[in-house]
Structure 1
Amino acid sequence: MAITIFDTPVLSTIMRLGSLLTLRLLGWKLSGKLPAADRFVMIAHPHTASVDLTLMLAVAFAFHLKLHWIGKQSLFAGWRGPFMK
């Protein structure tokens, strides 16, 4: 697998702190435990605008998850391509 933003110690720490702050400001509370399995599926719902992707990334950073995701081809085109990959 390719190196992702989740593999960079400094950037992932900054993103985690920003995610925790953002979730708190939005009134979200993290609860529960991660599954004991090495791999699992996380479903982000509802699918409205870009809010679901933003919240999914925030939760992934908050829980220290290394996330791999799929999206439609248009998300990976243009200036967003390198970031989305």
Structure 2
Amino acid sequence: MKVFARFILFTVLRWKLVGEFPTQKKYVVIAAPHTSWIDFPIAILARMASGIMINYIGKDSLFKGPFGFFFRALGGTPVDRSKNNRLVDAIVDIFNSREEFRLGLSPEGTRKKVEHWKTGFYYIAKGAEVPIVMATLDFENKQIKISEPYYTTDNKDKDFEHFRGFFQNVKGKNPELS
């Protein structure tokens, strides 16, 4: 599968992977900007091309009906975003109960334009005591750039400044939504 994913991503679609997903067993990946449905297949191809399993969560409606099995097979877990269900705590428990777990999230939490990122990824990483790895989805340059692991500090503002700096000038599929 890795060879097939690399062929599609690099040869057919002509994307570049700059950097590598770390091989360590636990971390949170934040991928941005998230402006189109096409981000998902590009991210899945990048994950498969790297050979590193990265799980994800998605709105529960994606996991219903005839395609639910497909999204689960790709490493997805459904979440009900309409309720306050202590999702951060539940995901921290998953990190703590598994020997290996990497979770990919969009800090925007949606494909729509947002003024502020959601903070769940940050509190998951802090609670699970795992680093955050950043990955761009830069459609202008057709590249996915992957950062080194970043360990959060006690200064949330400084940490978010670091995150935003990594994604600065990255153009999503629909840049007006970035």
TM-score over 0.5 (shorter chain): yes
Contact 1:19/1:58 (<8 A) preserved = yes
Aligned to 1:8: none
Give, in whole Å, the separation in 2 of the partners of 1:44 and 1:51.
13
Q: 1:18 to 1:36 in 2, by over 3 A?
A: closer
Aligned to 1:41: 28
Give, in whole Å, the separation in 1 of the partners of 2:21 and 2:36.
27
State the superposition RMSD in angstroms. 1.7
2:55 to 68, 71, 76: 68
> How far did residue 36 of structure 1 move?
4.9
Higher strand content, 1 or 2:
2
Contact 1:20/1:62 (<8 A) preserved = yes
What stretches of structure 2 of length at least 5 have no aligned partner? 73-178
Three-state SS of the structure 2 residue aligned to 1:20 is helix
> How far did residue 78 of structure 1 move?
0.5
> How far did residue 62 of structure 1 move?
0.6
Give, in whole Å, the separation in 1 of the partners of 2:68 and 2:20.
32
Q: 1:63 to 1:83 in 2, by over 3 A?
A: same
Q: 1:43 to 1:75 in 2, by over 3 A?
A: same
What stretches of structure 1 of length at least 5 have no aligned partner? 1-12
Aligned to 2:44: 57
1:20-35 aligned at under 5 Å gives the runs 20-24=6-10, 25-35=12-22
Q: Percentage identity across aligned positions?
A: 34
Cα deviation, 1:14-51, whole Å, max 9, x if unaligned, reads: xx223212212222112323325311222232323321
Aligned length: 71
Aligned to 2:129: none
User: What TM-score comes out, normalization by structure 1 length?
Assistant: 0.69
Contact 1:44/1:52 (<8 A) preserved = no
Give, in whole Å, the separation in 2 of the partners of 1:48 and 1:80.
22
Aligned to 1:10: none
Is 1:84 the counterpart of 2:71? The answer is yes
Aligned to 2:77: none
User: What TM-score comes out, normalization by structure 2 length?
Assistant: 0.36
Give, in whole Å, the separation in 2 of the partners of 1:23 and 1:36.
20
